[in-house]
Structure 1
Amino acid sequence: MKTIRCQVEKITPFNGAVYQVLLRPDTPLAHQAGQYLCVVMGEKDKRAFSIASAADAEVIELHIGAAVNEPYPMQVVEKLQQNSHIDIEAPGGEAWLRHDSTRPRLLIAGGTGFSYIKSLIEQQIQLGQTIETTLYWGCRNQDAMYYEQLARQWHSEHPWLHFVPVVEEAKPQWDGKQGNLLAQIQQDYTSLAGFDVYIAGRFDMVGAAREIFRQLNVDEAHLYGDAFAFIK
């Protein structure tokens, strides 16, 4: 990975626990959709976040889940708020979009794992691809689904893209599924053979998903998620 200086353009809270961060690199960042960067906090302290923007975007978008009781990511937000520029190391990760594949795609996001999925979908849209794609996004409740409107917009504008929102705690008139994200996928699919599957979220969720997907005959050569490099 290369070290790149970035201007901190904007930091905006989506809600009480997730921040949108926009960075403008001093030199263009050459990366593929689905890769991540590391914010340099110190010589030996580099913290990874998925890049939420498509591969050729001039501004890098991050989604940082940083509730006040989570000091590790909140320290990053505070550093960004206190400085006009920041160093990053990028790009990293092997779970980038295999855009040459014609297999149907299943995209799965838990919480701020949506940042990773957003990059993949925006890249598909820019490439003009119409490969059948289904997006599952699981959150604790609707308030936590910070980019719900964008995901529903994709669903309505692109016939090839199907959005399935899943929340654990649903309000009346909720237009989506209620329950556990992985249980919902188990209910909806009897087999994942033939799919390209991309997943991002907490490591424990991703690890549990892999075990479930193995039972659904997933081809692990086509199961993509950078978390797998850390939970072998």
Structure 2
Amino acid sequence: MSYQVTLKTSGKQFSVSQDETVLEAALRHGINLPYGCKNGACGSCKGKVLEGQITHGQHSENALSKADETAGGILFCCSHPQTDLVVEAREVQGAGDIAIRKVPCRVNTILKPSNDVAILKLQLPAAERFQFLAGQYIEFLLKDGQRRAYSIANPPEQEGPLELHIRHLPGGLFTDFVFGAVSPALEEKDILRFEGPLGNFFLREDSKKPIIFLAAGTGFAPIKSIIEQMQAKKITRSIELYWGGRCPSDLYLNELCKRWEQEIPDFKYIPVISDGLPEDVWQGRTGFVHQAVIEDHPDLKDFQVYACGAPVMVNAARNEFSSKCHLPEEEFFADSFTSAADLVAS
């Protein structure tokens, strides 16, 4: 059995089978609804049911509260129709023409700029031309059928390997493999497979608004891709990059960001540390990184914000930028880096 979903604004329709979510069906039909984590943790795919009934799978209440759900709120990534639906949703333009494919790759290099961050560079087959938008991600296809998602850190225009930034989460299925906490460990020249590109975290080039990039930890990776794409395409917009970490070593490419301040016109870099130690001798901003934005920009109504990192940061930024700083909802773009720990039963 399948159900019909109608998007109220555009009038587009698509069918959803019993074994797929609304988001999966939309993407299968070439309709790009906004999404980030695809597992109910980030809230990027939130919309509203105007007509019909759905059931929600496991999701975080930070992404969709019970009050939101009662009012008709829906997370497209974990919802299954029980009837035909009419929904309210924003559609994303720009990613639909790039094919999602499964691709083999060879590990070219594994660099560790800090104790818990690895930079992987993946060499694709010689004849392979992998297309993606700056800011998108790939999913590694693991032997047991599980997947792990990582953002691409280099721009599409750059020739050579794909670059990924991976933080070690002790006990993590893939990150323990990368960091040698299990045997055998990942080594250079190993062969992996991934699927991509995925996601709709990418620069909206039709806007001239000033940009605030907000990164926490390895959430810096897709933002690096976008900034370097802007450099390559000579896109000139006012940019402020806020990069937050617990300690200075979390800002593992700090010198690159400082160099951007010298190279890119109208670019400002604001590093922020939340849990520094006296021995760090940190002289810069402290506290939560999204709060630094609020302190500097009490009025965000004329900005675009691109936020990437842990769901707790992304959700706090989304809510407070809107409620306190007047940021229009449609000008907040996000990619949440989620793990099983980020999910709680609804």
Is 1:44 the counterpart of 2:152 in the alignment?
Answer: no
- Is the Cα–Cα contact under 8 Å of residues 207 and 228 in structure 1 kept in the other structure? no
Write the distance in 1 (CA, Å) between the matches of 2:337 and 2:259. Answer: 30
Is 1:63 the counterpart of 2:165 in the alignment?
Answer: yes
CA deviation string 1:137-195 (max 9, x = no partner): 00011112100000011012223211000012165763521222122111111111121
**What's the CA shift for 1:228?**
10
SS of alignment partner, residue 225 of structure 1: strand
CA 1:94–1:187: 2 relative to 1, 3 Å: same
Is 1:85 the counterpart of 2:188 in the alignment?
Answer: no
Number of aligned residue pairs: give it.
Answer: 230
- Is the Cα–Cα contact under 8 Å of residues 134 and 229 in structure 2 kept in the other structure? yes
Q: Which runs of 5+ in 2 are unaligned?
A: 1-99
The equivalent position to 1:179 in structure 2, one of 271, 287, 290, is 287
SS of alignment partner, residue 42 of structure 1: coil
1:174-213 to structure 2, matched below 5 A, reads 174-213=282-321
The equivalent residue for 1:10 is 109
**What's the CA shift for 1:44?**
2.6
Write the distance in 2 (CA, Å) between the matches of 1:188 and 1:209. Answer: 14
The equivalent residue for 1:227 is 336
SS of alignment partner, residue 192 of structure 1: coil
- The TM-score, its normalising length taken from structure 1, stands at 0.91
Write the distance in 2 (CA, Å) between the matches of 1:94 and 1:179. Answer: 29
Alignment RMSD, CA only?
2.2
Identity of aligned residues (%): 30
Instruction: For 2:190, give the aligned amino acid.
Output: S
**What's the CA shift for 1:70?**
4.2
1:119-138 to structure 2, matched below 5 A, reads 119-138=225-244
Write the distance in 2 (CA, Å) between the matches of 1:6 and 1:218. Answer: 40
Which of structures 1 and 2 has the larger relative contact order (alpha carbons within 8 angstroms, sep 6+)?
1
Is 1:20 the counterpart of 2:119 in the alignment?
Answer: yes
Write the distance in 2 (CA, Å) between the matches of 1:25 and 1:203. Answer: 31
- Is the Cα–Cα contact under 8 Å of residues 133 and 161 in structure 1 kept in the other structure? yes
- The TM-score, its normalising length taken from structure 2, stands at 0.62
Q: From the CA coordinates, give the structure whose radius of gyration is larger.
A: 2
- Is the Cα–Cα contact under 8 Å of residues 34 and 51 in structure 1 kept in the other structure? yes
Write the distance in 1 (CA, Å) between the matches of 2:262 and 2:177. Answer: 35
**What's the CA shift for 1:10?**
0.4
CA 1:148–1:199: 2 relative to 1, 3 Å: same
Structure 1 or 2: larger helix share? 1
CA deviation string 1:117-137 (max 9, x = no partner): 100100010011220010000
- Is the Cα–Cα contact under 8 Å of residues 80 and 86 in structure 1 kept in the other structure? no
